[in-house]
C-alpha cells in the first residue's frame, strides 16, 4: 500500500473533478479516500467519511455487502440501488485494488446518479404503450367495419353509408393523433426553429375566434373577450401562439354545453401577460387537476374520444408555452366549469 498512499494526493485532485461519487477503502473496508460528490451523496461534511467503515454508516448495507464481497473475492460488481435518505437511484460499481503480487489491497466504489435516465426509460415505455393503445383503437374500428362491408354490408346502402361515415371519423381521428404526435416531437426535440417576434395577444385571440367561429356558432355559444387597453406585447412565435389558443378554445367549446358561455380574459399582472379561457362545462375533479397537462391523460376518456380528442392537446400547449419561458395554469370545480390560462413575459 506504500505506493498507493504516496499517490493519494494525485488521486484526490483527479477525484475532485469527477461527476461521480468515489470511495476508496483499504483491505479492512475502512474509507481512506473520497471526493466531494460522495460526501454530498452521503449527506456528510467534508472529511467525515475518512477513517469510517460502512458498518458505521446508516442505510448503506447494500454497498457494504458489495465492498465486502469484492475484498473477499477480488471480482468487480455492479448494481443499481436506491440510497436512502435520497430518492435517487444510483448505479454502484465496486472494483478491487490489487498489488503487484495480485493481493487485494482495497477497493474503489463509484456511484453514479442514474435517476433521470431511469425516469426517462419509464416515461418512454409509458409513452410507447400509450401511443400503441391510441393507434390500435381507431385501427381496430376501421378494420372491423371494412371487414363487415366486404362480407356483404355494402349491399345495404344505408348500412354502407353509416359504416363509411364511422370509418371516415376514425381516419380523421387517426390523422389528428399522428399530427399531434409529430407536433409534440418537433417541439420537444427543438427541431422546429421558433420565429420570435413582438405580438399583441389580443390580436391573436381575435384571429383564433374567427377561425373557430363555425364551431362556436354550431353550439350557439356566447364568447366574451375581455382585455385591457394598451396591453403589453409578448415575444412569441405567431403560429405556435395561435396553436396554443386554438387548442385551449377548442377544449372549451367541446366541454361547454349548447348555449353556454365562454369567457376569455387578457390582462397584465406582475410584468406578465396572462390570458385565461373559462368555460361553463362539467369541470375537473381536484384529483385530476395536477395531471391534465400529461400526455394522453383524459378526465373523461369515453367523452374525450367521442369529442375527437387525442389526449395530446394540453400537453402540446404546455410544451409550447414553456418553450417561450411562459407558464400554464388551470383552475376548476366540478359542475361549475374550468379555467385554463397561459402567462408570458411582457415586453
Percent of the chain with pLDDT over 70: 82
Q: Is 289 exposed, middle or buried (0-12, 13-18, 19+ CB in 10 A)?
A: middle
Q: Tell me, yes or no, whether 101 and 133 share the same domain.
A: no
C-alpha distance from residue 19 to each of 44, 324, 344 (Å) = 17, 31, 35
**Of the candidate ranges 101-115, 161-175, 176-190, 251-265, the one whose mean pLDDT is the lowest:** 176-190
Q: Is the pLDDT of residue 338 over 50?
A: yes
If asked whether residues 72 and 123 sit together in one domain, one would say no
Spatial distance between the Cα atoms of 266 and 273, rounded to a whole number of angstroms: 7
Sequence-ordered list of residues with C-beta below 8 angstroms from that of 182, at least 6 positions apart, any chain: none
- Which cell numbers in the block locate residue 65? 455487502
The pLDDT score that the predictor gives to residue 344 is 94
Q: Poorest-confidence range of 71-75, 173-177, 313-317?
A: 173-177
Specify the residue for cell string 452521503.
Answer: 42
61-80 burial, b at 16+ Cβ within 10 Å, e below that, comes to ebbeebbbebbeeeeebeee
Using a pLDDT cut of 90, give the percent of the chain over it: 18
**Of the given ranges (50-54, 130-134, 283-287), which has the lowest mean pLDDT?**
130-134
Regarding whether 183 and 199 lie in a shared domain, the answer is no
The answer to whether residues 209 and 335 belong to one domain is yes
Angstrom distance (rounded) from CA 343 to CA 336: 23
Helices H / strands E in the chain, number of each? 11, 12
Q: What are phi and psi of 264, to 5 degrees?
A: -110, 135
At 85 the pLDDT is 57
The pLDDT value given to residue 205: 93
Residue 51 pLDDT exceeds 50: yes
How many Cα neighbours within 13 Å face the side chain of 134? 26
Mean pLDDT along residues 182-204: 80
pTM over 0.75: no
State whether 249 and 158 are in the same domain. Answer: no
Show Cβ contacts of residue 261 under 8 Å, excluding neighbours closer than 6 positions. 221, 222, 223, 224, 280
- Cβ neighbourhood burial of 226 (10 Å; 0-12, 13-18, 19+): exposed
Other C-beta atoms within 10 Å of 95: how many? 15
CATH of the domain at 216: 3.30.565.10
Burial of 320 (0-12, 13-18, 19+ CB in 10 A): buried
Mean pLDDT of the region 132-159: 80
Cell of 271: 410584468
Domain termination residue (choose one: 66, 90, 113) = 113
How many domains does the chain divide into? 3
CB of 313 within 8 A of CB of 251? yes
| Predicted local confidence at residue 201, as pLDDT | 93
Residue 61: CATH number of its domain: 3.30.450.20
Residue 68 has pLDDT above 60, yes or no: yes
pLDDT (tens digit per residue) in 87-140: 778 888 888 888 878 888 888 888 888 877 776 666 666 666 666 766 777 788
- Residues 327 and 200 both lie in one domain: yes
345 or 181, which is more confident: 345
On average, the pLDDT of the chain sits at 81
Residues 169 and 67 reside in one and the same domain: no
- Number of CB atoms found within 10 A of residue 255's CB: 23
Residue 200: the pLDDT is: 92
3-state SS, residue 34: strand
pLDDT tens profile 219-249: 999 999 999 888 999 999 898 899 899 889 9
pLDDT of 302 over the 50 cut:
no
Q: Cell 372491423 appears where? A: 144
**Cell numbers standing for residue 33:** 479516500
Domain boundary among 113, 137, 166: 113
Out of 129, 161, 192, a domain closes at 192
- Assess whether 220 and 327 both reside in one domain: yes
Q: Are residues 299 and 342 in the same domain?
A: yes
Q: What is the extent of the structural domain holding 150?
A: 116-192
In residues, how long is the chain?
347
Same domain, 166 and 242: no
CA–CA distance, 66 with 108 (Å, rounded to integer): 11
Amino acid at each position: 500500500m506504500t505506493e498507493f498512499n504516496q499517490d493519494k494526493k494525485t488521486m484526490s485532485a483527479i477525484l475532485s473533478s469527477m461527476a461521480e461519487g468515489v470511495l476508496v477503502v483499504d483491505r479492512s473496508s475502512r474509507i481512506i479516500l473520497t471526493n466531494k460528490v460522495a460526501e454530498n451523496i452521503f449527506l456528510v461534511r467534508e472529511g467525515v467519511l475518512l477513517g469510517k467503515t460502512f458498518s458505521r454508516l446508516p442505510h448503506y448495507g447494500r454497498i457494504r455487502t458489495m465492498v465486502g464481497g469484492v475484498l473477499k473475492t477480488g471480482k468487480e460488481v455492479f448494481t443499481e440501488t436506491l440510497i436512502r435518505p435520497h430518492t435517487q437511484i444510483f448505479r454502484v460499481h465496486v472494483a478491487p485494488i490489487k498489488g503487484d503480487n495480485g493481493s487485494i489491497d482495497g477497493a474503489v466504489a463509484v456511484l453514479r446518479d442514474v435517476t433521470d435516465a431511469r425516469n426517462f426509460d419509464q416515461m418512454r415505455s409509458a409513452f410507447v404503450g400509450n401511443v400503441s393503445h391510441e393507434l390500435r383503437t381507431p385501427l381496430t374500428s376501421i378494420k372491423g367495419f371494412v371487414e363487415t362491408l366486404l362480407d356483404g354490408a355494402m349491399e345495404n346502402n344505408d348500412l354502407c353509408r353509416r359504416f363509411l361515415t364511422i370509418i371516415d371519423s376514425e381516419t380523421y381521428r387517426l390523422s389528428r393523433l399522428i399530427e399531434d404526435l409529430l407536433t409534440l416531437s418537433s417541439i420537444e426535440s427543438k427541431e422546429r426553429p421558433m420565429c420570435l417576434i413582438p405580438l399583441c395577444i389580443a390580436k391573436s385571440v381575435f384571429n383564433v375566434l374567427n377561425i373557430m367561429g363555425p364551431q362556436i356558432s354550431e353550439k350557439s355559444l356566447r364568447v366574451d373577450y375581455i382585455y385591457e387597453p394598451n396591453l403589453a406585447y409578448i415575444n412569441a412565435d405567431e403560429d405556435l401562439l395561435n396553436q396554443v389558443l386554438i387548442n385551449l378554445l377548442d377544449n372549451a367549446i367541446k366541454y361547454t354545453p349548447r348555449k353556454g358561455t365562454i369567457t376569455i380574459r387578457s390582462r397584465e399582472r406582475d410584468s406578465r401577460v396572462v390570458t385565461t379561457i373559462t368555460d361553463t362545462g362539467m369541470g375537473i375533479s381536484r384529483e385530476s387537476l395536477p395531471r391534465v397537462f400529461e400526455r394522453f391523460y383524459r378526465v373523461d376518456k369515453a367523452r374525450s374520444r367521442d369529442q375527437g380528442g387525442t389526449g395530446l392537446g394540453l400537453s402540446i400547449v404546455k410544451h409550447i408555452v414553456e418553450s417561450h419561458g411562459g407558464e400554464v395554469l388551470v383552475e376548476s370545480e366540478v359542475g361549475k366549469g374550468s379555467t385554463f390560462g397561459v402567462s408570458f413575459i411582457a415586453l
